[in-house]
Amino acid sequence: MLRLIRYLLIPFSIIYSIITWSRNKLYDLNLLKSKSFDLPIVVIGNLALGGTGKSPMVEHILHIVNPLIKVTVLSRGYGRKTKGFRYVHETDEAINVGDEPLQIKRKFKENTVVVCENRVHAIEKIKNKTDAVLLDDAYQHRKLKPTFSILLFDYYSLNKPIITLPTGNFRDTLLESKRADIIVVTKSPSEINEVTKKNIVNRLKKHSDAPIFFSEITYQTLLTSSKQETDIRFFLEYHAILLTGIANPAPLYEYLVEKVKSITTIKFPDHHVFSEKDLLKIEHLFDNLPSKKIIITTEKDIQRLPQDFVLKLPTYYIPIQQNILFNQSEEFNSLIKKAFLDQ
């Protein structure tokens, strides 16, 4: 029924596509102006709604360039209840700065992280205090002219029709791939049929000359909120609650399902703010599990869970890491370094 309703909205998707195409064309023709800056401005983004792995890519890039240059991370701070420009501190709460910027600040303490919905205004404020700016989720922010753009696609989305909102999940059509300097197909299987890989590359090459990379997500060691490591194999006989507020928790479930005795899933929307009622529901489910039980969540979600909750119940989070596939990591790293250093 829901699928039928979405396809009934196809005329609205056509109208939406015409509007977004017209807006982009006005920027392409310089009839609408983009602001540029005299320092490297590197943008990470996607054409679809969330779930392509932008935050793991931000972290991957910081690992590459942090030894070389002073980089400030700029995000809109999606999900925060505040407005305007703010510096992110390790002691902040996600509700004030957003879960992903807080996660990045806590992992990369040496980097300045700021949030602001007006990216141009934010860069004006920080441009004399940094060597470069890395923007999370700003590919559609045409008021800003980046020096380098990294476009992400979820692997599985490229095996389906690309349909814009409200029928599909895409904010722009594949035509806008032409603005990318690098394209990364994220969340790819480590082994891809050559025919499938070639079909994806050919589909993207119709719209862009950018080099195309494939990356996979790898799950790291389980951590407590105090960052104490625990091997997942220790929990083979445990019953687990998988608690998520992310766009697509299915891959994490598939990773964990054979590593614990049973999994009870509790799914909330992406960037969900956990209410007292939510926490009581989770605690009730936990209490009704058999003995030997834990809660597993994501690194993004642990930023939003209250500290007293994660201390009260045995709660672990599982970091993820982005890996470039098919022996292309050196080429990818080289292009990223040039993006930040050769401006």
State the SS3 of the chain: CHHHHHHHCHHHHHHHHHHHHHHHHHHHCCCCCCECCCCCEEEEEECECCCCCHHHHHHHHHHHHCCCCCEEEEECCCCCCCCCCEECCCCCCHHHHCHHHHHHHHHCCCCEEEECCCHHHHHHHHCCCCCEEEEECCCCCCCECCCEEEEEEEHHHHHCCCCECCCCCECCCHHHHHHCCEEEEECCCCCCCHHHHHHHHHHHHCCCCCCEEEEEEEECCEECCCCCEECHHHHCCCEEEEEECCCCCHHHHHHHCCCCCEEEEEECCCCCCCCHHHHHHHHHHHHCCCCCEEEEEEHHHHCCCCHHHHHHCCEEEECEEEEECCCCHHHHHHHHHHHHHCC
Closest listed residue to residue 107, CA positions, set 65, 150, 70, 60: 60
Amino acid 294: pLDDT = 96
Pairing of the two strands 229-230 and 222-223: antiparallel
Q: What is the pTM of this model?
A: 0.92
The whole-angstrom separation of Cα 22 and Cα 16 is 10
- Could you tell me if 220 and 244 are in contact, meaning their C-beta atoms sit under 8 angstroms apart? no
Per-residue pLDDT tens digits of the chain, which is 343 residues long: 556 666 677 888 888 899 998 999 999 999 999 999 999 999 999 998 877 889 999 999 999 999 999 999 999 998 899 999 999 999 999 999 999 999 999 999 999 999 999 999 999 999 999 999 999 989 999 999 999 999 999 998 898 888 888 888 888 999 999 999 999 999 999 889 999 999 999 999 999 999 999 999 999 999 998 889 999 999 999 999 999 999 889 899 999 999 999 999 999 999 899 999 999 999 999 999 998 999 999 999 999 999 999 999 999 999 999 999 999 999 999 999 999 998 6
Give the whole-angstrom CA distance, residue 23 versus residue 28: 9
Matching fold, domains 34-218+323-341 and 221-318: yes
User: Which superfamily, per CATH, for 34-218+323-341?
Assistant: P-loop containing nucleotide triphosphate hydrolases (3.40.50.300)
pLDDT at position 4, please?
64
Domain ranges of the chain: 34-218+323-341, 221-318
Burial grade of 321 (CB within 10 A; 0-12, 13-18, 19 or more): middle
23: tokens are 């807006």
- Classify domain 221-318 by CATH architecture: 3-Layer(aba) Sandwich (3.40)
Reference 181, options 54, 295, 44, 285; nearest CA is: 44
CA 31 from centroid of its chain's CA atoms: 31
List the one residue out of 91, 55, 95 whose CA is nearest residue 79: 95
What whole-number distance in Å separates Cα of residue 187 and Cα of residue 242? 20
